[in-house]
Structures are given as structure tokens and as C-alpha cells.
Amino acid sequence: MDKIPFGDLSRQYKKYRSEFDAITSAVFEKGSFILGENVSAFEHEFAAYCGCSYGAGVGSGTEALHLALLACGIKAGDEVITVANTAVPTVAAIRLAGAVPVFADIEEKTYNIDPALIEPCITGKTKAIMPVHLYGNPCRMDEITAIAKKHDLKVIEDCAQCHGAAINGKMTGSFGDAGCFSFYPSKNLGAFGDGGMAVTNDEEISENLKLLRNYGQKNRYFSIIEGINSRLDELQAAYLRFKLRHLGNWNSRRIEIAGMYNDAFGKAGIIQPSHQKDFRHVYHLYVVRVKNRDRFMDFLDEKKVRTLIHYPYPVHLQDAYINAGIGNGSGSLPVTEKAAEEIVSLPIYPELTDEEVKYIIKTVIEFFNE
């Protein structure tokens, strides 16, 4: 067996090479590269896919979160409740908006924010909740939105890892005031570079987003509010329009691979991913928990199976945020900190072959049978 990479983006390109090359040629022949017809079309198509009325394509998932906060009226000094077991961009976006992240601990089984721990975090400065649908597994949005309604808070969903995830058929990104997606290349729906989108059912928020992403300009060269440059690239939008048509099949393949893992690992001494009934987990990542994680990862690496950790350092324990006075330090989020010491991500992407999946399973079981 050749080495199995954690991810291999070239496989998708090779499969659809002729289609991607034709898309590239069409955009270059058209000669429109900024906020062109592909961006507009993709905004409509992806918003509709998410069950929302409006979409605003931006430069990255981080910028989707940042601009959604601003579009929802979050101001400097406002507090935003979120989690620390996430990629740094979640918290970076809050800081870019001038707001203050406040960390709630997570559920041990799902690794998502624990709704029961949100209200104790609410103060007079709290203005929003930013749940992160981690690894492709939806948060308990009915409970979260009920808390937000009770306290008059905005909800901005971090959907960077959950393209196509749903609760009772309702798509993530459509529960809150805005849903923010990343199209980083490795995502379930990924571009060939950076890109992002915020979707919403609120026309005013949509209008604010489109102003903010383009210098606050409604008419060219005349800004009516302060904004920045954060625009989804026309070429990336064209690729994403094509990829969106395949997302359902790609997600189904991820779910199929996860099912193969789940069936095999039931008695292997490994804590498997968990989700609730009627929640559609789309397995952006297949994250397990094991004791002796370093030895486990080294063993798999020796057997040519590459693994990663998502994420080894909770945000509240990273120097940049400790030095900024954010969070309450070690011991303040016990479930988050415990999980960070044990989690490990196994390869899962649509282009993995059944032979590779079976080899990964065989190798994992071999470790536990040593």
C-alpha cells in the first residue's frame, strides 16, 4: 500500500480536469474577474442550497464571520459567546470586529458548544452567540436560538466545516441571523484558493454585507459606510458553481466512509464521533479520541497512514490570546482541554478508495491489538 495522505486535493482535479480547464478558459475569455456574473449566480445558488434568501461572497471564511458580525451591528467592546476548540479564524474574526470573545465549554460527545453553559456566560455586554458546527456536526441550534431570542442576541453560525449538514432537513447556516462558510480548498465545498460566503434571510444584513465587502460603496468610487476589500473571486465562484452540483455525492461518500469506520471501530478501544438523531453529520473531519495519542499517530505514520489533530491547542491556551487577556486560562474549560489531549483525525475525503479505507481500518485495529 502506498502512503495514504491525510488529504489529496489533486485527486479531485484529475478526475474533473477537462471541466475545470474549460471553466478557467471561459472566465478568461469573458475577461470579467471581480464581482462578475459567476459570483452573482453562485451567491443565489449557494444561498438557495442553504435554505436562505441572500448570499454575499467574500474573500475567506474569516471575513465572512468578521463582516457578518459588523453587518449584524456588533461593535467594539461587545461580547460574543463562542468556543475555544476551534480554528483560530473563529476568534480572529471576533477580534477583527473589535468585539470580545467569551468562551463556553463544550459537550464531551459532540465537541460542540454546550447550550446549558451559554446563559452563565451572558453579561450586559453580550450581543451575539457564535456556535461552531465542528467537524461537520451541527450544534443544537433550537436550544441556542431559543437562548438568543430570550436575551435579544444575534446568532452568527460558523459553518466553515459543515456544507450540507442539517437538522431535521433544515440546513446549517439558516438557523441564525447569518451563516458563514469557508471555501478553503480542503472544505467539503472547496475552491482552488481562499473564498467565503455569508448567507442570511435578512435583507438588511445582506445589503450591509455587500457594502462592507466592497469599501462601503453602493455606487462606484462613493462610499456610504466604511468598508474593506473582501470579495469572492470570479474564477473561484465559477469553480464553486460546478462543485456545488457534486456536493451531495461527495458528502454521501464521506458519510459512507464514516459508516465503514464506525462499523469497524465499535470494539477497538476508540471513542468514535457522535451525533444526535435527525442531525446530518457531513464528516468534514472524522475525529476520534484515543489514549496514548502520540504512539497511535506514530504507529499509523509508520504504516503509511497520515493523521492530524484538529485542534491541538484550544484558543484560550494560545499565547496570542493569553497575552490579549482573552479567556480564563488553563483549567477554565475542562471538557475542551481534555478533548484536546486525546483527539486525532483520520483521513476522510471522497476520493479515498475502498481499498485505502479498509487498510486504514486494518491498521487502526492492529494498533489496539498489539
pLDDT digits (tens, 9 = 90+) for 298-337: 999 999 999 999 999 999 999 999 999 998 899 999 999 9
Q: How many CA atoms does the CB half-sphere of 358 hold within 13 Å?
A: 4
Q: In what order do the strands lie in the sheet with 166-167?
A: 170-171, 166-167, 279-280
**Helix crossing, 88-96 with 61-71: angle to 10°?**
40
Is the confidence at residue 87, as pLDDT, over 90?
Answer: yes
Helix/strand/coil for 298: helix
pLDDT at 370 over 90: no
List Cα–Cα distances, 366 to 137, 289, 292, 309, in angstroms: 28, 16, 15, 21
CATH number of 247-368: 3.90.1150.10
- For the segment 112-128, what is each residue's pLDDT rounded down to a tens digit? 999 999 999 999 999 99
Whole-model pTM: value is 0.98
Q: Do 61 and 196 form a contact (C-beta atoms < 8 A)?
A: yes
Cβ neighbours for 357, distance < 8 A, ≥ 6 positions apart: 257, 260, 261
Predicted pLDDT of residue 275: 78
Q: What is the mean pLDDT of the chain?
A: 97
In CATH terms, 9-104+114-244 corresponds, of 3.40.50.620, 3.40.640.10, 3.40.50.720, 2.160.20.10, to 3.40.640.10
In the block, residue with C-alpha cell 470494539: 267
- For the chain, the structural domain boundaries read 9-104+114-244, 247-368
| Confidence tier at 266 by pLDDT (50, 70, 90) | confident
- Supply φ then ψ for residue 331, to 5 degrees: 95, -10
CA distances 335 to 109, 290, 342, Å, are 10, 15, 11
